[in-house]
Structure 1
Amino acid sequence: MCYMREFRIFVAVYEERSFSAAAKRENATQSAISQRIRKLEEVLAVRLFNRTSQRVEPTPAGTTYYEYAIQLLDKYNEANVALQRYRGVEGIVNVGIPPWMSRHVVPNILSRFMDEHPNVVVNVTDGNSVLLCEMVSRGELSLAVIAASDLREEDKTLAVSEGVLVSRGPGRPWGVGRIQRDPADLAGIRLIVPKRGQPYRTVVDSFLELHAVRPKQVLELDSVFGTLGLVAKGDWHTILPAFVLAADPDQELYNVQTLMEPPHFRLSCVTSANGDTAACRSFMRMLEGELSRITLNALPLSRPLLSI
């Protein structure tokens, strides 16, 4: 059987027309080169070179073999270059995210991440923060981005955002003539809030209690998409983090108003025991970069807290 080493030695002898020159080129001894060529000729059952005291001349068979050998070596080198991209980060990333991020954030980075890390498998699960935390604790997710009303010591804060009052549009571009609403104005509105037990519900309830505000009517709905759909079609309002609206390509459908003494919402990252891998860290760096871009778009209503 002939290996790449034999092909390289054969090509060196053919091009140098000398065993000694080929030996120098291949960092080998002249006798080793001569033995390799002799063994190759035995395997192929054909003479490749005519030896003289002065030179080594290829036979017609040797010339034909050379034409194929250099093509094979070129393909071998191309294959090695192609495999370089698979020799970096590898593994599996099981990531959990809020549903709004599955539409507006993750698609912006997923293709780029897979191109840069083709040997990494990414599995994305969307769900509410309570469910995602449970999945992390069971080891079903490597990491999860969650809404947070309080922060455990081991959690990492990704972004903090002021809450904004959202009603039916048309809206204005971010930062253009936004009206600041007094919390007392919320007493006469119909307000959509997350279900009890969800972190952002705690934030909204604390804000309403602080300002002694009781909305005209309250509807509990966990879906951000469902909430915005109702807001866009009727006289319902909601309070959302500014970064959620800044990431929404349909933000012109809504009227977004800032609030005096607004509530503050936080995104944090929780990880499981299997989340401390190179693949997970690489994915989080890219996700943090995208969140940073979004939160900067929502400034001064939100700010990134990232170290990337």
Structure 2
Amino acid sequence: MDLSALRIFKAVAEEGSVTQAALRLHRVQSNVSARLTQLEESLGVALFHRAGRRLLISAEGERLLDYAGRLLALAGEAEASVRGEQTPSGVLRIGAMETTAAARLPRLLAAFHRDHPQVELQLETGPTDELLQAVLQHRLDLALVAAPVGHAELAQQEVFDEELVLLTDAGHAPVATPQDVAKRTLLVFRAGCAYRRRLEAWFAEADVGIARVCEFGTFEAILGCVAAGMGVALMPREVLRQRGLADSIACHTLPARTARVKTVLVWRADVLRQPARQAFAASLLA
């Protein structure tokens, strides 16, 4: 089992397709298929279940994927250490919450790209829970998520302090308690979103039932539906400030235990040396 085979296996597992993995790795499809078959034969297990053109990872494949991520990360760290590389380079896979990516990252990423042109940035957005799992499974090098983070395998540093506000349409009456919006629909990101959990906890603490929940994939869709009067949402005040939506959306201040949240940068604690990651972390605190 060599590192090249593990890279191919990992790409296929993440893409769910030999064709997409071949495109990502800049290899011909037949080569990827052959190497994957050789790996399965050498291990004596099926790493995937074939479902038409899709490949569904097996239980054995899931176990190998965790080891593959760790082995490939360790190999990259060892190579950089032996070569004495200090200049950040290569691919840096960054995860971020939707709102963080929109409100905090554009200028930071542009500045980082200007200062470190040898680093290829890849950005993926999603809920906090999904991003944490992606870092743990070596699919992301680091991620910006909502605190608190309780994984011993992850190192973390605080980078932003956000104030979350309740959003309603501009004509809504002032909101002081969950009772004031008890009959309104909650407009939220999918399960795993830390901000969604805070909003649901605000209702639960007041013993107020939630009338209805609608899930969205983007914050722009949520903002549009809030402005149209469809329901209420919870988001960082910074998102609203940058977009100048005061004429169509009202912000309502919440208690500090609900409103104040820190955004932290997380990465695997066992990946000790990765110049690109370290440079990015430093840029967030500059």
Instruction: Determine if the TM-score, normalized by the shorter chain, exceeds 0.5.
Output: yes
Deviation string 1:206-255 (CA, Å, 9 cap, x unpaired) is: 21111122244332335322211211222411122334434445465321
Distance 2:244 2:181 in 1: 26
* Mapped partners of 1:123, 1:250: distance in 2: 29
Match of 2:187 among 192, 195, 212: 192
Cα separation, 1, equivalents of 2:255 and 2:178: 6
Instruction: For 2:98, give the aligned amino acid.
Output: P
Tell me the CA shift for residue 271 of structure 1. 0.4
2:278 partner letter = R
Find the counterpart in structure 1 of residue 266 from structure 2: 270
Unaligned runs of 5+ in 1: 1-86, 172-177, 290-308
Residue 129 of structure 2: SS of its match in structure 1? Answer: helix
In the comparison of the two structures, how many residue pairs are matched?
197
Structure 1 residue aligned with 2:167 = 166
SS at 2:182's partner residue? Answer: helix
Q: How does 1:113-192 map to 2 (within 5 A)?
A: 113-148=112-147, 150-152=149-151, 154-169=155-170, 181-192=176-187
Gaps of 5+ in 2: 1-85
Q: CA separation of 1:206/1:97 partners in 2, compared to 1, >3 Å: closer, same or farther?
A: same
TM-score with structure 2 setting the length: 0.58
Instruction: Label 1:119 to 1:196 Cα distance change in 2 as closer, same or farther (>3 A).
Output: closer
Work out whether residues 179 and 258 of structure 1, in 8 Å CA contact, stay in contact via their aligned partners in 2: no
In the superposition, relative to structure 1, how do residues 150 and 134 fare at CA in structure 2: closer, same or farther (>3 Å)? closer
What do the CA deviations read for 1:2-51 (whole angstroms, capped 9, x no partner)? xxxxxxxxxxxxxxxxxxxxxxxxxxxxxxxxxxxxxxxxxxxxxxxxxx
Q: Give a deviation string over 1:125-166, Cα, whole Å, max 9, x none.
A: 222223222221121211011234554463333334343110
Amino acid of the residue matched to residue 218 of structure 2? S
Q: Deviations over 1:41-73 (max 9, x none)?
A: xxxxxxxxxxxxxxxxxxxxxxxxxxxxxxxxx
Identity of aligned residues (%): 22
> Which deviates more, 210-219 or 131-140?
210-219
Q: Is the 8 A contact 2:97 2:126 kept in 1?
A: yes
CA contact (8 A) 1:183 1:259 kept: no
Distance 1:90 1:196 in 2: 35
Counterpart in the other structure of 1:255: 250
Letter in structure 1 aligned against 2:200: D
Partner AA of 1:169 in structure 2: A
Whichever residue aligns with residue 118 of structure 1, its letter is P
Deviation by residue 1:188-220 (Cα, 9 ceiling, x = unmatched): 322223333432232222211111222443323
C-alpha root-mean-square deviation of aligned residues, in Å?
Answer: 3.1
Is contact 2:146–2:263 with CA below 8 Å preserved after alignment? yes
Whole-angstrom distance in 2 between the partners of 1:146 and 1:216:
28
CA distance in 2, matches of 1:231, 1:112: 33
CA distance in 2, matches of 1:117, 1:170: 47
TM-score by length of 1: 0.54
Distance 1:170 1:112 in 2: 39
Distance 1:101 1:197 in 2: 15
Q: How does 1:76-95 map to 2 (within 5 A)?
A: 88-95=87-94
Which secondary structure state, in structure 1, belongs to the residue aligned with residue 208 of structure 2? Answer: coil
* 8 Å contact kept, 2:185–2:231: yes
- In the TM superposition, residue 282 of structure 1 has moved relative to its aligned partner by 2.0
Rg (Cα) greater in structure: 1
Q: CA deviation at 1:274?
A: 4.2
Whether the 8 Å contact between 2:127 and 2:194 is mirrored in structure 1 is no
Change (3 A) 1:254 1:143: same
In the alignment, structure 1 residue 236 sits paired with structure 2 residue 241: no
Separation in structure 1 between the aligned mates of residue 243 and residue 281 of structure 2, nearest angstrom: 21
Aligned to 1:58: none
C-alpha spacing 1:216/1:126, structure 2 compared with 1 (3 Å): closer
Determine the C-alpha separation between the residues in 1 that align with 2:149 and 2:170.
32
Distance in 2, matches of 1:90 and 1:106, equals 20
* Matched position secondary structure for 1:259: coil
